[in-house]
Amino acid sequence: MLGAGLNEARATDLTSRPVLKDTIVVRLPNQATITLVVRDAAQLRQMKNYQLDSLTSRLASYITQAEKAAQSASTDQVTVQFYPDKDQPGKNLPEQIRITTRKKKANTNRVDVMLNKTFGVSVTTDENGNKSYGSMETKSKEQRQAQRDSNRVKALQRKSSSINLIMDVGLNALVNQKPNVGLGQTGNVDLRTAGSRYINLGFDSETRLGGKRSPVSLIVGPEFSFNNFMLSGNNKWVNADGVTTVVKETDGRQFEKSKLTTSSVNLPLMLQLKLHDSHGKSTFHLGAGGFVGYRLGSHTKLKYISEGNVYKDKDEGSYNLENFLYGAQGTIGYGSLQLFAKYNMNELFKTNAGPSAQVLSFGLRIFGN
């Protein structure tokens, strides 16, 4: 069967994988090897009934047909199936021969031949038309998983730095609020929780610290943040005489929305610990560090209905907000789930120019490091 130089063939039952007990190995002068693995000695003695010389000629013809089909195909892979036993019944030929040709480069291709889906050989044709032969072993599920794990671990070790697109979605809260009697502020500013949303987008550079297996990396931005502070009740943000306050609406309008929105650019600097399991998949990860930033813009927005019409009043301005920002932030997660928290250490408004409070943002990292 393998007179053309096929490296390895295994004869086995077509309906189930046998227990490997008896084996014959034949080494040919051209360095090819024929390996026959059978269930028992009786099955081994039956090998004389097979027309191996006829199969060799037939297999060479099949490979030629498969190569021609690959040359004219529009895809990189072509599979052709033959049924020798149906063509010539009673001659102990294989029930099925499947030949898969994979193109490599110009004037070259590779042909994989599977006999009854149990064993096979590969035939590679180079640019000069020379053929080389090799064995094609069917890998178990465990072997394929081990190969994927090995490739994943090697990729992690080669990857010393990367750029990651990140997206955070969460909520804002005002913390550490203090009354300011001089500004007429005697109570806390109440925010509508669901409406006080936080969104953060950015490109973080991740650089591994230490050797190839080090789980520690350095993270640096930039990131763009959008903070909404939506008031509860029928209140609104008012900027008058250099002071921003929260006042209750008195002209009868009922607000559907009353919010202050700010945008900023931030530069985080964090250390990250990222662990992986034996398969190379990410497990526990933890990041901590700080950030500095600058306010890009701000505005207030009122939405209300009057005489059946919907109105949206938007007023842009600084609203006495701090321009320069700084604080601490961190992430924690397991696998694909990752949470974040961000704490502004400076106050939201300038001193004695607005409510005394700091901002805490928290939520879910949709994708990122």
Domain boundaries, the chain: 22-139, 160-367
The predicted structure's pLDDT at residue 106: 54
Q: Which residues are CB-neighbours of 320 under 8 A, at least 6 positions away?
A: 239, 242, 243, 244, 349, 350, 353, 354
Q: What is the pLDDT of residues 289-339, one digit of tens each?
A: 999 999 999 999 999 988 888 999 999 999 999 999 999 999 999 988 999
The predicted structure's pLDDT at residue 61: 80
Containing H/E element for 259? strand 255-276
Q: Which residues are CB-neighbours of 134 under 8 A, at least 6 positions away?
A: 7, 121, 122, 124
User: Cβ(293)–Cβ(326) under 8 Å?
Assistant: yes
Phi, psi (5° rounding) for residue 143? Answer: -65, -40
Please name which of 56, 57, 55 lies closest in space to residue 84, comparing C-alpha atoms: 55
Q: What is the pLDDT of residues 203-237, one digit of tens each?
A: 999 999 988 888 999 999 899 999 999 999 999 99
Q: What is the pLDDT of residues 64-83, one digit of tens each?
A: 887 777 777 777 777 878 88
In 3-state terms the chain splits into helix, strand, coil percentages (rounded to 5) of 15, 50, 35
Structural tokens at position 223: 């990131």
Which is more confidently placed, 213 or 347? 347
The predicted structure's pLDDT at residue 369: 72
Average pLDDT over every residue of 22-27: 72
State how far the Cα of 138 lies from the Cα of 301, in Å rounded to an integer.
Answer: 66
CA 200 distance to own-chain centroid: 20
Structural tokens at position 197: 């949303």
The predicted structure's pLDDT at residue 125: 62
Degrees to nearest 5, angle at CA 327 with 195 and 297? 55
The predicted structure's pLDDT at residue 83: 81
**Quick one: CA dihedral 322, 325, 330, 336, positive or negative?**
positive
DSSP string, 294-347: EEEEEEEEEEEEETTEEEEEEEES-TTB-SEEEEEEEEEEETTEEEEEEEESS-
pLDDT at 3 > cutoff 50: no
Residue found by looking up tokens 């297996």 in the block: 213
Average pLDDT over every residue of 141-152: 64
